[in-house]
Amino acid sequence: MDTQTKREIWLLAIGTALVELPVAFAAFTIFSH
C-alpha cells in the first residue's frame, strides 16, 4: 500500500468519524431523555 492510498483511507476514516460522532452523540442524548 503506497502513501497516497493510505492518506486517502485516513482522510475518509477521519471524515466519516467527524460526521458520525456528532450524529451518534445527538441520538444518544435524545433517546436517553
Q: Where are the alpha helices (DSSP H) in 1-33?
A: 3-32
Percent of the chain with pLDDT over 90: 91
Residue 10 has pLDDT above 90, yes or no: yes
Mean pLDDT estimate for the chain: 94
Classify residue 1 by its DSSP letter: -
pTM for the predicted model, two decimal places:
0.55
- Tens-digit pLDDT profile for residues 11-22: 999 999 999 999
pLDDT of 33 reads 84
pLDDT of 1 reads 72
Percent of the chain with pLDDT over 70: 100
Q: How far does CA 16 lie from the centroid of its chain?
A: 3
